Structure 1
Amino acid sequence: MPELIAPTTRLHTAWLAARADWGPGVHEDGFGLRPEDEVDSPEGFAAWVARLTAEPGSVCRWIVEDGQVLGGIALRHGPEDYVRVFGHIGYGVRPSARRRGLATWALGRMVAEARDLEQVLVVCEDGNTASMRTIERNGGVFDGMYGTLRRYLIKTR
C-alpha cells in the first residue's frame, strides 16, 4: 500500500533510482527540484531535503511503497505569480510506476490537505491525457488554457 511521506534523507538511494527511471534531462514534477539543486551527493541531497521541508507556503510529499520512491506531489500556497501559472498542486509518477492509479490517489489526498483553500488550480500540458483524467477524476473542471497548459479548478470543500 502506498503512502505519502515528507521528504527524507533516508531514501536517498531510492530517490536516485526514481530519478534514473525518468531519464536524463526530464523534469520530475512534484519534487520541487531546481536546476541548481545538487542531489547526487549525500550532502547535496540533505541540503535539498532541508529546503523542501522548510520552504514556506509549500508542502512536499513523496509517494512511497515498499521502500521505493514512486513519485512526488507538492501543494503550493505561493508565491501567487508561480501558482497562477503552474497551479497549487504539481505531481509526477515515475514511468515504471504509472498506470496504477497512484497519481489519482495522491492528488485526492493532497486536495484533502488543501482545505484551507476554497479551490485549487491544477495544470497539465495540453495532450497529456493521463494527467487530464487524473485531475478530472478528482473533480477538476476545465478552466481554460494558459499557453500550452490546461487549467483545472478543483473544489476542496
Structure 2
Amino acid sequence: MTALVLPDLRWFPSWAATVADFGDEVMHGSGSWNLDRPLEPTEASCKELVDVLAERVSADPDSGRVASTYFWITAGDGDREDEVIGFLNLRHQLNDWLLQEGGHIGYSVRPARRRQGHAKRALALGVRRAGELGIDQVLVTCDTDNVPSARTIESGGGVFEDVRNGKRRYWITPPA
C-alpha cells in the first residue's frame, strides 16, 4: 500500500531516514526549497519544515508561488506506524514556469524504496486529489533522461505532449 499524509513531526524517525537516503539527490516534492538553509535529517530541521510547509499552502503572488499542498508518501495506509518513504507536492494551479516545466505534481521516492510501485500509487493518489480540487487536466513533468519517472507517468495515464527546456510534459485526466 501507499498513502499520502500531511507532514507531521510524529513521522520524524522515518522522515529523517528518507532524507538521509536521498543524500545529495534532489527531493522533488519535498518543499525543502522553502527553507533558508539545507535540509538536514534532524528533529529541528523536520519541525522547521513541517511549520514552513503548513504556511505555504496558500498562494503568494508577490513571490510567484501558487497554492499547493505538500504530502509525505508513506508505505502503508497512512496510520501512525507507517514509514515515510517520499514526498509529493500538489500545486493547485499553474503559473508560467509550472506550465512550462514544473507541472501540477512533483514527487520523489527514497532510493531504498524505489521499484516497489510506490511512485505509481502516490502519483495516482495525487492525481485523484487534483481532481477533487477541480483540476480536470493534471500536468506532470520529468527530466528527459529520467526514464523510470517517464514510465511511472505513462503507466499512470500520462499522455505525452512535448519536451520543453529538458522536461517531458504529460497530461493526466483525473478519475471521475
Aligned-residue offset at 1:79: 5.7
Report the count of equivalent residues.
156
Q: Which amino acid aligns with 2:68?
A: S
Q: Tell whether the 8 Å contact from 1:38 to 1:48 is kept in structure 2 after alignment.
A: no
How many angstroms apart in 2 are the aligned matches of 1:15 and 1:118?
32
Q: Which residue number in structure 1 is paired with residue 28 of structure 2? A: 29
Aligned-residue offset at 1:38: 5.3
Match of 1:125 among 109, 127, 143: 143
Q: Does 1:47 align with 2:62?
A: no
Q: What TM-score, normalized by structure 2, do the two folds share? A: 0.80
Question: Where do 5+ consecutive residues of structure 1 fail to align?
Answer: none
Q: Which residue number in structure 1 is paired with residue 69 of structure 2? A: 59
How many angstroms apart in 1 are the aligned matches of 2:137 and 2:106?
15
Aligned-residue offset at 1:60: 1.2
Q: Tell whether the 8 Å contact from 2:70 to 2:87 is kept in structure 1 after alignment.
A: yes
Q: What TM-score, normalized by structure 1, do the two folds share? A: 0.89
Q: Tell whether the 8 Å contact from 2:92 to 2:130 is kept in structure 1 after alignment.
A: no
Query: What secondary structure sits across from 1:114 in the alignment?
Result: helix
Query: What secondary structure sits across from 1:109 in the alignment?
Result: helix
Aligned-residue offset at 1:123: 0.4
Q: Does 1:147 align with 2:165?
A: yes
How many angstroms apart in 1 are the aligned matches of 2:68 and 2:118?
21
Q: Which residue number in structure 2 is paired with residue 7 of structure 1? A: 7
Q: Tell whether the 8 Å contact from 2:2 to 2:121 is kept in structure 1 after alignment.
A: no
Q: Tell whether the 8 Å contact from 2:2 to 2:122 is kept in structure 1 after alignment.
A: no
Q: Tell whether the 8 Å contact from 1:141 to 1:152 is kept in structure 2 after alignment.
A: yes
Q: Select the structure that is richer in strand.
A: 1
Q: Which residue number in structure 1 is paired with residue 119 of structure 2? A: 103
Q: Which amino acid aligns with 1:73?
A: L
Aligned-pair Cα RMSD in Å? 1.8
Percent sequence identity is: 37
Distance 1:10 1:39, change over 3 A: farther
Q: Which residue number in structure 1 is paired with residue 96 of structure 2? A: 81
Q: Which amino acid aligns with 2:160?
A: F
Distance 1:82 1:33, change over 3 A: farther
How many angstroms apart in 2 are the aligned matches of 1:100 and 1:143?
27
Query: What secondary structure sits across from 2:32 in the alignment?
Result: coil
Distance 1:58 1:131, change over 3 A: same
> Which piece of structure 1 moves more, 75-84 or 112-121?
75-84
